[in-house]
């Protein structure tokens, strides 16, 4: 007998799929389609475990759906533009294009080694001109429709390098290259009007019933629809041609408690006043050093300065001061906010700091205690100190104040969204050029017949400036016979990832962005799988783009992704040692040996190379910074793809974090070896023909001769099958693997060597191989053929549960007394309450707890338990 040799088995299976073109699909209106999509990878160099997990999940789902008879599309491609390629290019002195292409070649090979059933004939890369060409064309359409426009917005600016930095490139407020403090700079950039679609993006979340609730909640909160009022505070004098500060509030009931108004540092009024106020000018300058990230904004110290200017309260006519606050954003809302220190915690702290008045106008509904010396009272309540509005609750006050403001022409009810328009300009090189021309002071979309605007690939990176910005020639062009200049900014890479799912349906189409016939056959995607970190931005942009494509007549569906699965992260143990400076030097788990106590806990670890001890850094997300990445390649070479896939699916359910464990991988390998050995040693090649019909079900004649032991064995197998089917449908693959293990335990357990048992075990093996196939396809494919089931397991029908095998004459019914388990009784599954009660009360272990007490209530949960309530 030969030992299990994963390499030979896996190579042969992969070759077979390649020759048969098993995973290449075309549109077939006769068959039900199923589009299964994994988020495409950024070609960073090598696959990491997160990729392995992601693509194993989609491969499992794809193969399962294929066995259910569907026409399954499972494509793969490369999200090839992005910042890391520029960094790598500078480091390695290669052009980003070449570096990216090398990575793609290597990673593609790794994907093939893992046996993923992708339709490689549809492979695409976003850095290819025949891909981004259509994105450029689509953008010009958006400009023509008024859905894309140019406006001034903020970027991180390194004054020394004179370059724009990504948030990631700003480390503690400084440039990551030269440590110079970063400032905010306002420059003209292209934006897309996602806010025009805010209402639809919110409302259509209701259509996405097969998305996780948490993702829908996050998106709804991100869009942030609110109902409030716009209220005008007139300035006591015009500044920069501005006479009124409109503010938006969701709490107009607190309007009488306004004691000042704050405006953004970049507000035109602030800028105009700064011209004659050096203190204010200095303050505004200092605000420019603040981070543009919202998290930093929320945590920073709130600072402000009085402008000396006042505005008029729209209801009382009193003057309130106008302040400049570092926490007010110019590009969100009107750049001005009203402040109610008594009823908003941030305003409260600000008012305390600058000795501004705090005026209570809301009292609690119940006689609750509030202490305005300690904190703001932010709950809704009843109005006080508000003149004619005193005594009203929130809703009544909202309406009464809205009505009065409207009558005075000082405000109106307004619906607002937190969502902001999508800024798509990037001042970087490795992206799709934005297809716009500047000529005679006009912004002109590049005409369709001049697309694509090709990004030159043979470039040298100086580390600071984008090569197409650095080259004065590249931008030069003409328009209608006159000199013109190309835009040198490139698109946000979210642009490419917002429509790739649609392009997979017709990647070769050269007559337009999409071939509507093919796109509408496959779309929407039936199952989308990717990391939870994309729950908001990528998924929201892709939903938005899909609606834009629909409105351009390219697709006929409203939403791109019907069902969504967000997989958890992959974690691993980390180890470090401190160097002389006290810095942590992280050591890869592969280079560490561990020592355990008698409970199996890791108590000590040593570096394999020098035998010296290392510190244990805990289980954290696999990352470069902690050097705890486990290279999938090493595991594949040692154990084979099936073992790696099986472990990945078994160790945790898809949505949860997955902890890499070498022992766990060995456990997965042990299961596969056991299956292999069981088949080699115990399975007769004629068994299939002897016991099973052409659908691999037990032949009727054997069904009739089952002994009690073989019937019980068959129940175990069909129970496991039923559970596995349930779990496949809800994407919980760890328990599918459990079911497979149970079946193997059953069919490999020692038992009487008679025909009924052999018959049941043969049927069980056929079920096991088909259940296991989507997860560990190579070994299942090999054994299916070798044991004479058939040529290609993928063509076999999915196993069906024989409900008659599950029927029991007698079950264990749990008996509780006052909710505590006190015994079990053997009864018929459809026993009635009276009978069950009589039997239970006759049992001594129950009597111990009921004796001398009165029976108050009896609850029977059929097939499960009986609860006797006594006192």
Q: Which is nearer to RNA, 842 or 859 (CB)?
A: 859
Contact 96, 429 (CB under 8 A): yes
* Residue 418 found at the interface with RNA (CB under 7 A): yes
CB of residue 800 to RNA, shortest distance in Å = 16
Q: Give the number of other CB atoms < 10 A from CB of residue 231.
A: 25
* Residue 528 found at the interface with RNA (CB under 7 A): no
CB of residue 290 to RNA, shortest distance in Å = 12
For residue 704, how many C-alpha atoms fall within 13 Å in the half-sphere facing its CB?
3
Closest C-alpha to 785, from 766, 798, 758: 766
CB of residue 658 to RNA, shortest distance in Å = 7
Binding mask 354-393 for RNA (x = CB under 7 A): ----------------------------------------
Phi, psi values for residue 731, rounded to 5°: 60, 35
- Kindly state the number of chain residues that form the binding site for RNA, as judged by CB under 7 A: 105
- Which residues, in sequence order, are bridge partners of residue 573? 619
Near RNA in 16-55, by CB under 7 A = 42
Binding mask 840-859 for RNA (x = CB under 7 A): -----x--x--------x-x
Contact 201, 230 (CB under 8 A): no
Near RNA in 428-457, by CB under 7 A = 428
CB of residue 39 to RNA, shortest distance in Å = 8
Near RNA in 682-711, by CB under 7 A = none
* Residue 780 found at the interface with RNA (CB under 7 A): no
Q: Map residue 461 onto helix, strand or coil.
A: coil
Near RNA in 812-831, by CB under 7 A = 812, 814, 816, 818-822, 824
Q: Which is nearer to RNA, 359 or 534 (CB)?
A: 534
Near RNA in 161-200, by CB under 7 A = 164-168, 189
Q: Give the number of other CB atoms < 10 A from CB of residue 30.
A: 5
CB of residue 787 to RNA, shortest distance in Å = 19
CB of residue 506 to RNA, shortest distance in Å = 23
* Residue 268 found at the interface with RNA (CB under 7 A): no
Across 417-541, the runs of DSSP E, i.e. the strands, are 422-423, 425-426, 436-439, 442-445, 476-479, 482-486, 490-491, 525-531
Q: Which stretch binds RNA (CB under 7 A): 383-391, 423-431, 455-463, 501-509?
A: 423-431
CB of residue 493 to RNA, shortest distance in Å = 5
Q: Which is nearer to RNA, 309 or 658 (CB)?
A: 658
* Residue 155 found at the interface with RNA (CB under 7 A): yes
CA distance 717 to 367: 64
Alpha-carbon dihedral sign for residues 630, 636, 638, 639: positive
Element (H, E) at 576: strand 570-578
CB of residue 273 to RNA, shortest distance in Å = 28
CA distance 519 to 505: 5
Q: Which of 680, 735, 843, 850 binds RNA (CB under 7 A)?
A: 735
Element (H, E) at 668: helix 662-682
Closest C-alpha to 728, from 521, 535, 527: 527
Q: Which of 17, 650, 691, 696 binds RNA (CB under 7 A)?
A: 650
* Residue 795 found at the interface with RNA (CB under 7 A): no
CA distances to 124, 292, 328, 622, 738 from 298, in Å: 40, 11, 11, 29, 46
Q: Which of 734, 751, 847, 850 binds RNA (CB under 7 A)?
A: 734
208's tokens: 């996405």
Contact 574, 626 (CB under 8 A): yes
Binding mask 331-360 for RNA (x = CB under 7 A): -x----------------------------
CA distances to 17, 44, 80 from 104, in Å: 21, 8, 9
CB of residue 236 to RNA, shortest distance in Å = 33
Q: Which of 425, 498, 574, 628 binds RNA (CB under 7 A)?
A: 425
* Residue 492 found at the interface with RNA (CB under 7 A): yes
CA distance 245 to 258: 14
CA distance 841 to 847: 6
Q: Which is nearer to RNA, 342 or 747 (CB)?
A: 747
Near RNA in 614-633, by CB under 7 A = 620-621
CB of residue 268 to RNA, shortest distance in Å = 22
* Residue 643 found at the interface with RNA (CB under 7 A): no
CB of residue 510 to RNA, shortest distance in Å = 25
Q: Which stretch binds RNA (CB under 7 A): 303-311, 393-401, 587-595, 667-675?
A: 667-675
* Residue 659 found at the interface with RNA (CB under 7 A): yes
CA distance 121 to 508: 10
Element (H, E) at 33: strand 33-38
Q: Which is nearer to RNA, 42 or 283 (CB)?
A: 42
């Amino acid at each position: 007998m030969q030992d299990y040799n994963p390499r030979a088995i896996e190579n042969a299976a992969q070759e077979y799929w390649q020759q048969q073109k098993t995973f290449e699909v075309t549109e077939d209106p006769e068959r039900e389609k199923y589009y299964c999509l994994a988020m495409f990878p950024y070609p960073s160099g090598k696959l990491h475990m997160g990729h392995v997990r992601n693509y194993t999940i989609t491969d499992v789902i794809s193969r399962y759906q294929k066995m259910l008879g569907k026409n399954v599309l499972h494509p793969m491609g490369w999200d090839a533009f992005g910042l890391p390629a520029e960094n790598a290019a500078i480091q390695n002195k290669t052009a980003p294009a070449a570096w990216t292409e090398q990575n793609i070649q290597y990673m593609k090979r790794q994907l093939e080694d893992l046996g993923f059933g992708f339709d490689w004939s549809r492979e695409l890369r976003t850095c290819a001109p025949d891909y981004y060409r259509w994105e450029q064309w689509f953008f010009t359409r958006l400009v023509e429709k008024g859905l894309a426009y140019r406006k001034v917005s903020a970027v991180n600016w390194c004054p020394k390098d004179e370059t724009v930095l990504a948030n990631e490139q700003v480390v503690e407020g400084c440039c990551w290259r030269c440590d110079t403090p970063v400032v905010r700079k306002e420059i003209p950039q292209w934006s897309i009007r996602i806010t025009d679609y805010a209402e639809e993006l919110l409302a259509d979340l209701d259509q996405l019933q097969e998305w996780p609730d948490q993702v829908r909640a996050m998106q709804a909160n991100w869009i942030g629809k609110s109902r409030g009022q716009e209220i005008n505070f007139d300035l006591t004098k015009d500044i920069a041609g501005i006479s009124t500060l409109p503010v938006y509030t969701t709490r107009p009931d607190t309007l009488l408690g306004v004691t000042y108004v704050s405006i953004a540092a970049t507000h035109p009024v602030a800028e105009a006043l700064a011209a004659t106020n050096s203190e204010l000018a200095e303050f505004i300058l200092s605000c420019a050093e603040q981070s543009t990230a919202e998290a930093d904004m929320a945590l920073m110290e709130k600072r402000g300065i009085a402008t000396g200017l006042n505005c008029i309260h729209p209801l009382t006519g009193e003057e309130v001061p106008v302040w400049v606050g570092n926490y007010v954003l110019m590009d969100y809302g009107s750049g001005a906010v009203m402040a109610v220190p008594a009823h908003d915690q941030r305003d409260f702290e600000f008012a305390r700091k600058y000795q501004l008045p705090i005026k209570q106008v809301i009292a609690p509904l119940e006689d609750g205690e509030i202490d305005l010396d300690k904190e703001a009272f932010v709950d809704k309540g009843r109005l006080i100190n508000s003149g004619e509005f005193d005594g009203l609750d929130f809703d009544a006050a909202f309406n009464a104040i809205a009505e009065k403001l409207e009558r005075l022409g000082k405000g109106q009810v307004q619906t607002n969204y937190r969502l902001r328009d999508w800024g798509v300009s990037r001042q970087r090189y490795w992206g799709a050029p934005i297809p716009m021309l500047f000529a005679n002071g006009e912004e002109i979309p590049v005409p369709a017949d001049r697309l694509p605007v090709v990004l030159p690939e043979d470039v040298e990176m100086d580390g600071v400036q984008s090569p197409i910005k650095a080259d004065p020639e590249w931008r030069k062009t003409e328009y209608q016979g006159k000199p013109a200049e190309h835009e040198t900014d490139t698109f946000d890479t979210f642009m490419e990832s917002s429509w790739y799912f649609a392009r997979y349906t017709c990647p070769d189409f050269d007559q337009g962005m999409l071939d509507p016939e093919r796109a509408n056959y496959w779309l929407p995607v039936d199952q989308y799988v990717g990391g939870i970190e994309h729950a908001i931005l990528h998924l929201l942009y892709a939903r938005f783009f899909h609606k834009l494509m629909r409105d351009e007549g390219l697709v006929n569906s409203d939403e791109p992704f019907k069902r969504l699965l967000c997989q958890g992260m992959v974690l691993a143990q980390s180890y470090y040692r401190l160097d002389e400076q006290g810095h942590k030097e992280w050591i890869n788990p592969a280079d560490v040996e561990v020592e355990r106590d008698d409970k199996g806990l890791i108590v000590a670890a040593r570096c394999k190379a020098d035998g010296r001890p290392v510190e244990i850094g805990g289980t954290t997300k696999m990352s470069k910074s902690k050097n705890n990445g486990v290279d999938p390649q090493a595991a594949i070479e040692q154990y084979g793809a099936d073992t790696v896939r099986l472990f990945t699916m078994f160790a945790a359910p898809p949505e949860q974090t997955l902890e890499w464990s070498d022992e766990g991988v060995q456990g997965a390998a042990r299961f596969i070896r056991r299956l292999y050995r069981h088949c080699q040693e115990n399975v007769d090649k004629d068994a299939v023909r002897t016991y099973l019909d052409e659908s691999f079900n037990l032949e009727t004649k054997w069904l009739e001769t089952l002994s009690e032991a073989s019937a019980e064995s068959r129940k175990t197998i069909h129970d496991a099958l039923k559970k596995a089917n349930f779990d496949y449908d809800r994407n919980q693959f760890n328990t599918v693997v459990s079911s497979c293990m149970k079946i193997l335990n059953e069919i490999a357990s020692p038992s009487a060597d008679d025909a009924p048992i052999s018959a049941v075990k043969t049927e069980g093996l056929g079920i096991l191989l088909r259940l296991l196939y989507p997860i560990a396809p190579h070994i299942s494919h090999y054994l299916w053929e070798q044991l004479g089931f058939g040529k290609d397991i993928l063509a076999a029908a999915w196993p069906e549960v024989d409900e008659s095998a599950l029927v029991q004459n007698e079950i264990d019914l749990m008996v509780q007394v006052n909710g505590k388990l006190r015994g079990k009784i053997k009864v018929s599954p459809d026993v009635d309450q009276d009978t069950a009660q009589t039997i239970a009360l006759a049992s001594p272990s129950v009597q111990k707890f009921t004796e001398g007490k009165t029976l108050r209530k009896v609850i029977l949960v059929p097939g499960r338990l009986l609860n006797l309530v006594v006192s």
